Amino acid sequence: MIPNQWYAILESSEVKTGKPIGVTRMGEKLVAWRNSQGKVSILVDKCPHRGVALSIGELHNDHLQCPFHGFEFDTSGACVLIPANGKNAAPPKAMRARAYPAQEANGFIYLWWGEAQKEYPPLPFFESIDADFVYSTVTDHWATHYSRAIENQLDVVHLPFVHKTTIGRGNKTIVNGPLVRVESLYPQDNLLNLWVYNAVDEGQKPLRASEIPEPSRHPYLQFRYPNIWQNWIADNLRVVVAFAPIDEENTLMYLRYYHKIKTPGIRQAVGWLGGMANIVIERQDKRVVITQQPKRADLEIGEILIQGDSPIITYRKVRRALIDTP
């Protein structure tokens, strides 16, 4: 994983007030819960006393209670009560569960993966998606590293083959460019913009990126590190995917269909149809991507890449630079 980043790991709707939920993310078992004010907290799902899963416990006065011996932990992971020692006895400071910084926005719950910061950077998302949008979500599990799932959404060469019955119809096998721009390059804010110019093969040579005129429209695809992607279909229609890392070989895909139709009934119908379309298309991808070896993508893994793979090359270079940044 890229360290010192905010990762979208859950949808807000998955964590209910007063009920802890256990999930595996970033290769760790975690527990998330909301207190009575609705604030989300995340701890490692392991009681420091005897190793029991805290996620099967209960909430008492906004504290997470271990189901084994009743130890209670606050949002920082500090133990605030050991019933066997008496309610007036101060628990030892060493009795602490590891806590992760968590924030919530855009309908996602974000976890900070890295060193504690005096000031945390903004949460990654897309400014072009404003409050006028509504969305529906479908999820799917992929048995591959999240980097492979991300790369697939930056791969413009596969469209007429993997998606020949859906978004790849038209047999546009020639890949002009594509044009890739890194809009910002900072330790904690990195945005890739991608313009696609695929064409039918009529014997012409593919244009290099340097031969493509300066684009006059918004990007077709955007990716914000570490794990959020957007297909900018139209000003009033988007598809967004959060690639939540489960572990080194598994990813949970959160696929959202954004639109601006708010009329009751029609909104739900449009959302359902959009969600089903997302599932059909991503299942075409999934069938292929889960067979890729090795499971995790990187710069030197034995692949022989071509001009059309430039978005993937750029993604890997930025990802590697972020991993290697002290």
Hey, what amino acid is at 225? Answer: Y
Whether residue 319 lies inside any domain: the answer is yes
Query: Does residue 81 belong to any structural domain of this protein?
Result: yes
CA-to-CA dists, residue 197 to 32, 168, 180, 208, 211, angstroms: 43, 13, 11, 11, 12
| Residue that has been written with the tokens 């999930």 in this structure | 23
Residue 99 has pLDDT above 90, yes or no: yes
Q: What's the number of domains the chain is made of? A: 2
Distances (CA, A) of 255 to 167, 280, 323: 16, 12, 26
To the nearest whole percent, how much of the chain has pLDDT over 70? 98
- 15-27 confidence digits (pLDDT tens): 999 899 999 999 9
Same domain? For 177 and 314 the reply is yes
Are 306 and 241 within one domain?
A: yes
Q: Looking at residue 31, which CATH number applies to its domain?
A: 2.102.10.10
Q: Looking at the structure, tell me whether residues 93 and 173 fall in a common domain.
A: no
ω into residue 187 within 30 of 0, thus cis?
no
141 shares its domain with 95 = no
| pLDDT 10s digits, 306-320 | 999 999 999 999 999
pLDDT digit string, tens, across residues 199-214: 999 999 999 999 999 9
* 296 within a domain of the structure (yes/no): yes
Give the pLDDT of residue 106. 96
pLDDT band for position 173 (50/70/90)?
Answer: very high
In sequence order, the 6+-apart residues with CB closer than 8 A to the CB of 23 are: 9, 10, 29, 30, 31, 32
Answer with the one of 113, 142, 157 that is the final residue of a domain: 113
Specify the pLDDT at position 158.
Answer: 97
Q: Judge if 170 and 31 occupy the same domain.
A: no
* Residue 18 and residue 105 in one domain: yes
Q: What is the pLDDT of residue 187?
A: 62
Residue 216 and residue 315 share a domain: yes
| Cβ atoms 65, 53 nearer than 8 A | no
- Please, what is the average pLDDT of the chain? 95
pLDDT for 325 equals 80
**pLDDT computed for residue 326 by the predictor:** 65
Mean pLDDT along residues 136-140:
97
In this structure, is residue 92 part of a structural domain?
Answer: yes
Contact of 74 with 59, CB cutoff 8 Å: no
- Judge whether residue 184 has pLDDT over 90: no
pLDDT band at 126 (very low <50, low <70, confident <90, very high): very high
Instruction: Check residue 303 and give its pLDDT.
Output: 95
Answer yes or no: is 119 within a domain. no
What mean pLDDT do residues 85-104 have?
A: 96
Of the listed ranges 2-11, 122-131, 184-193, 231-240, the least confidently predicted one is: 184-193
Asked if residue 148 and residue 84 are part of one domain, the reply reads no
Residue 258 belongs to a domain: yes
Is residue 105 one of the residues assigned to a domain? yes
Residues 98 and 171 in one domain: no
Give yes or no for a contact between 253 and 160, defined as CB atoms under 8 angstroms apart.
Answer: no
Q: What number is the average pLDDT over the span 122-144?
A: 95
163 Cβ partners below 8 Å, 6+ apart? 169, 281, 284, 285
Q: At which of 56, 83, 113 does a domain end?
A: 113
Query: How many whole angstroms separate alpha carbon 268 and alpha carbon 274?
Result: 10
Which of 49-58, 112-121, 136-145, 251-260 has the lowest average pLDDT?
112-121
pLDDT (0 to 100) of residue 186: 61
| Host domain of residue 196 | 134-324
